[in-house]
Structures are given as C-alpha cells and as structure tokens.
Amino acid sequence: MPTHESGSTAQSIEEYIDPRLKPLIKMPESPSERPRLIGNKCKFCKEYFFPKRVLCPNCLKEEGLEDVLLSHRGRLYTYCIVKAAPLGFSAPYAVGYVDLPEGLRIFSPLTVDNEKELQIGMDLELFVDKIREDETGKTVYGYRFRPFSI
Amino acid sequence: MRTVCIVGVGMTQFGRFKESNVIELGRIAALNALRDAGIDKKDIQVAYAGHARTGQLYNRECGIGQSVLWELGISGIPISSVGNFCSSGSTALRDAWMAIGTGMYDVAIALGVEKLTGRAGKGRPLTSDGVELLTVMGFSPPVYFGNVATRHMEEYGTTKEQLAMVAVKNRKNAGPNPRCQYRDPITIEEVLNSPLIVEPLTLLNCCPTTDGAAAAILCSKEVAKRYTSKPVEIAASALSSGPYKKCKDITTFGADRCAGKDAYEISGIGPEDIDFAEVHDCFTIAEIVHYEDFGFCKKGEGGRFIEEGLSDINGKIPVSVSGGLMSRGHPIGATGLAQIAEAVWQLRGVAENQVKGAKVAFTHCAGGFQDTIELGDVQSSAVTILKRGW
C-alpha cells in the first residue's frame, strides 16, 4: 500500500480517500504543497464553515459563500483513545477535536507514536493517511492530524 | 395550559430479551399502565409512541404505536410515532401533555419502546444514528463522551475515581429495584479495572445495551379525580434542540441548559426544591455534567458533588435513585418514560429505593449528535418536573 510519506503521487492517494470525505480534501498538486481541508466562508458575516454549507445559516444568502482552503495547522481541544473499535477500525486509535484558526472546532482522527504524547493545547498538522478498512478489507484514507513542532 | 396529571404508569423488566419482540414489550408496558390507572382502554383518546432505533430493526420506520395498541384493542384514535433520539419517550410524554394541556383531549397514553439487542456486535459500541461523516472517521457515542471526560478532567480536575463513583452510586441505587438490568454492587476498583472502551471511560462507565418499554396514562386534572386519589402533576415539560455555537464548550450541553431553564421557569420550581432527579447518565461523565448544567452545583464542581455524596440517596439532591441508565439499562426510546414511571412511584411513596417524603421529581433525557464534523451539541434534551397533585 503506497503511503503519502513514501512519496507516491497525490493522485494515487486520492483513489483511496473515503468517497464521503473526498469533497472535503484538496490534495497537493506539487511536492511543495500540503493537503488542505476545503471549507467555505460567508462574505457577509465572515463566518467559516466546514464541511461547506450551501446556505449561510446566519444570513440565509447562497451568494455570500466562497470556497476557502482552511489552515493545515490547529490545536488539540480534547481527545480520547478508542480501545473497543467499531467494525473496520483497529484499536487502539486516537480521535479528538481540533481547533483551527478560522474559528472551527472539528473532529479528526489523530496520529501519535505514543498515546502519552497527546496533550490538550498541543500544536497539530493536517495530513492524509489510512483511517480504516472498508467491508471488503480495502484500505480507506481520510484526513488526520498529528503533532507538529517548529 | 390546564394542569395535566399522570394517573397510571407501567414498564417491563429492563434487560436483554432475545426472545421478545418490540411489540410484545410495548404491549406489556402499556397494559401495566392501563391496569395501574384502572382505566378502560376505550377512554384513551390519543396516543404517542416514542422509539428511536427500533424502526430499522423491525423493518418499519412508522407504526410501532399502532401495532402495540392494536394488540390492546386501542384503535380508531390518533396515534403517532415520536422519534427524537434518546429523548423519544420523554418527547412522547410532552406531546401527550400538550394535547391535554391545550384542551384538545382529556386522556392520552404515552409509550416508549426499544429493542437494542441484536444491533450492536458483542464488544462493539452501538453506532450513532446517522452522523455518517463522523462514523467513517471512527466516531461513536462513547467517543463523544470520552472527549467530554478528557476536557472536563483537564479543565476542572475531575478524576477517574469521581467518574467511577457515579457508576458505584447508581448500582447501589439499583440494588432494591427489580426492573434494573444490573443490580449487584460494584466497587470503584472494579469500575476502574473493567475493560477500557474509550479511554478514559471503562466498560462500567457506560450504560449497557438493553431492551424494554414503559408507558404513562395522562389526564386533565379534572378527569384524573375519576381514576386516582394520588394524581402526579406535570409541573413542566420542556424540550430543546442543541444550540448551534462555534467552538462549543464540550463540558456543557446547551440543549440541557435550554430545557432545564425552560422547565424551571414554567414550573416555578428551582433546583433547591427538587427532592430527587433521574438524569440521562448514559456515561458517568454525563451525570457529572448534568449536575452542573441543571444547577445542582456550580460549573466545574460536578466531580466534587459526587465525591461529597451530595447526589447519594440521602444527599442534597439524590440523583438516579432508580439505578439510572447505568444500571436499569437504556432502551433508547423507552428510557424517558421509564424515568417517569420510577418518578411516579417515588412520589406515591412506593418505590423500592424510596427517597423519604419525595414530593418533587426532576427527570431528564438527552441524545443525538449533530450530523456534521464541527463539534456540535446534543440534538434533543427533554426535562420533566413532576410533583404530588394531592
């Protein structure tokens, strides 16, 4: 299985992304770019949405919404470690909520070498990797966050 | 709104009943409620049936209420299904309360039924209703409450031992209650050492998978006199969806705060007047958050509230005196009405784990997750305040 880390192309990764998550992720077009999450922003009330909304719930105007690429860095708001896995997942795995600078608090799988590394408030960065296996055992990719240090 | 009373309640034993189907469970609960009220089935004018996950299992989205009541010969009246996550049963009660309170009907039955065994694979948590985007990324109800617990522990110093104390207390309360799924006493060590489900929550921090049904007969206060000398008044029934808020605080539930505030305002009853509460203790951390959201204690002091014994049967506000969801079990759509049945028995003074002289009861159910990736509030919260009508 090719992984993003081993330098395979963004296109080959894209095939493995869960079809429901695909519209939310923009894969890099060159090696210098990073994967990003696609949200939108209302130009009237300036609020960000992820996933994208069709209608701004504040202004009720469709024409105010513009696609934006969200920051690939965030902070860990809270987390937990799943030990009894739902079908398709292998335990243990970490998931939590990540704060993005755009004022969004979003759910995400988390990657750490050691569970003990996880700390509320830690800096995280977005990447794309395996999240689970589907009913046929095929690997499914999605977005994830992992610790980031400058 | 005119005053509405509960004149009869009934429920099934709660547990895992592989051989029973949802219609049978509903029939037993409804029949028990009719007999408890001493009411003729012909007097029932309207019915509301709460169920959340049963429709899918039974291959029928609608019509559970019609099927149950048809077996009891109740037909030719308005019957509708009420689906509102874990608050389905409490919402059915609220609909019946409004139907009578507005004067449109005099007598109603509210029913809650659910059969959950056979849904979740052994050792795997029940998945949530909908929330597909979250589910493909590894979300489940214990994941949400695991996230609540981690943050509550970080912000307020709540400990795993305090979480465990909720499970221990609720199991102790279940001891005398024959309707509970689990009744054997447990210790803090046993809770802490039970298998981890979603760290920091172990198995005994989570409510079990359960089948069951419960029902209540409601009347206007005038009509109630015909059936009982001990009518239980519904002082308030409030319902709220979760408020949408950017970067929501996960250690408080907005829907609960809205419903709690409304219920206190409608009834003119405050937390200081409550003799006991049955709250939605789906996970131990949830009960701790409920203490805070309903004003039983200050924000952040829920851990201390349990540790100091303030929610014990002899405490300031006894909570989950029936055993709660933790020990009675949580057949989703039935839970709200099971709480009502247990509360009515307490107010009549006939409960097995009786709170001495209880006159005012507080019940609460909440559930459902926002179908998006942003952190959302619970999708429904129902608070009912009951008091002696004699």
Q: Answer yes or no: are the C-beta atoms of B162 and B288 closer than 8 Å.
A: yes
- Cross-chain residue pair B125–A84, CB shorter than 8 Å: yes
Which of the following is catalytic: B280, B330, B364, B365? B330
Q: In the predicted model, is pLDDT for residue B120 greater than 60? A: no
**Residues within 8 A of B (CB atoms), A 4-23 only:** 18, 20-21
pLDDT number for residue B121: 59
Amino acid B56: pLDDT: 66
Residue A150 has pLDDT above 70, yes or no: no
Q: In this complex, do A80 and B149 lie within 8 Å of one another by their Cβ atoms?
A: yes
Q: Where are the domains of chain A?
A: 4-147
Give me the pLDDT at residue A1, please. 41
Q: Does residue B116 register a pLDDT over 70? A: yes
Using a CB-CB cut-off of 8 Å, the residues of chain A touching B149 are 80
Read off the pLDDT of residues B271-288 as tens digits, 9 standing for 90 and up.
Answer: 999 999 999 999 999 999
The yes-or-no verdict on residue A4 having pLDDT over 80 is no
User: What confidence category does residue B371 fall into, taking pLDDT thresholds of 50, 70 and 90?
Assistant: confident
CATH topology for B132-206+236-388 is Peroxisomal Thiolase; Chain A, domain 1 (3.40.47)
Contact call for residues B135 and B128 (beta carbons, < 8 A): yes
Cβ <8 Å between A105 and B136: no
B55-62: average pLDDT: 74
Cβ within 8 Å of residue A15, ≥6 positions away: none
pLDDT digits (tens, 9 = 90+) for B151-186: 999 999 999 999 999 999 999 999 999 999 999 999
Q: Is the pLDDT of residue A83 over 50?
A: yes
Tell me which chain A residues have a C-beta less than 8 angstroms from the C-beta of B134.
107
From B5, B86, B207, B297, active-site residue: B86
- In our burial notation (b when 16+ CB lie closer than 10 A, e otherwise), range B111-150 reads bbbbbbeeeeeeeebbbbbebebbbbbbbbbbbbbbbbbb
Given a cut of 70, is residue B119 above it in pLDDT?
A: no
**For position B54, what pLDDT does the model report?**
76
Predicted pLDDT of residue B57:
66
Does the active-site annotation cover B365?
Answer: no
| A80-84: average pLDDT | 97
Say whether residue A104 is in contact with chain B using an 8 A CB cutoff. Answer: yes
Look at strands B4-11 and A104-110 and give their pairing: unpaired
**What is the rounded distance in angstroms from the CA atom of residue B304 to the CA atom of residue B22?**
40
Which single residue is written with the structure tokens 């169920």? B51
Per-residue model confidence (pLDDT) at position A12:
83
Residue A135 reports pLDDT greater than 90: no
- pTM above threshold 0.90: yes
State the DSSP string of B181-246. Answer: S--S---HHHHHHSPEEEETEEGGGB----EEEEEEEEEEHHHHTTT-SSPEEEEEEEEEPPPP-T
> Does any CB of chain B come closer than 8 Å to the CB of residue A82?
yes
**Superfamily the domain B4-119+210-234 falls into:** Thiolase/Chalcone synthase (3.40.47.10)
pLDDT at B128: 67
pLDDT over threshold 50, residue A2: no
Among candidates B66, B20, B71, B65, which has minimal Cα distance to B333?
B65
Q: Which amino acid is at B106?
A: D
Q: CB distance A80–B139 less than 8 Å?
A: no
Q: How confident is the model at residue A62 (pLDDT cuts 50, 70, 90)?
A: confident
Between CA A130 and CA A128 the distance in angstroms is 7
* b/e map B247-259, b = 16+ CB within 10 Å: ebebbbbbbbbbb
Please choose, from the candidates B385, B322, B382, B348, the residue with its C-alpha nearest in 3D space to the C-alpha of residue B48.
Answer: B382
Element (H, E) at B289: helix B284-293
CATH 3.40.47.10 residue ranges for chain B? 4-119+210-234, 132-206+236-388
Q: Looking at residue B369, what is its pLDDT?
A: 93
Mean pLDDT of chain B: 95
Q: Which token pair is B381?
A: 């919260």
Helix (H, G, I), strand (E, B) or coil at B291: helix
Digit-coded pLDDT (tens) for B63-111: 999 999 999 999 999 999 999 999 999 999 999 999 999 999 999 999 9
Q: How confident is the model at residue B227 (pLDDT cuts 50, 70, 90)?
A: very high
For range B48-54, the mean pLDDT: 91
* A137: contact with B, CB 8 A cutoff: no
Check pLDDT > 80 for residue A65: yes
Range B318-335 average pLDDT: 98
> In the predicted model, what is the mean pLDDT of residues A113-133?
96
Are the CB atoms for B302 and B57 separated by under 8 Å? Answer: no
B282 is catalytic: no
Chain A hits for B133, CB-CB cut-off 8 Å, are 20-21, 51
A43-58: average pLDDT: 96
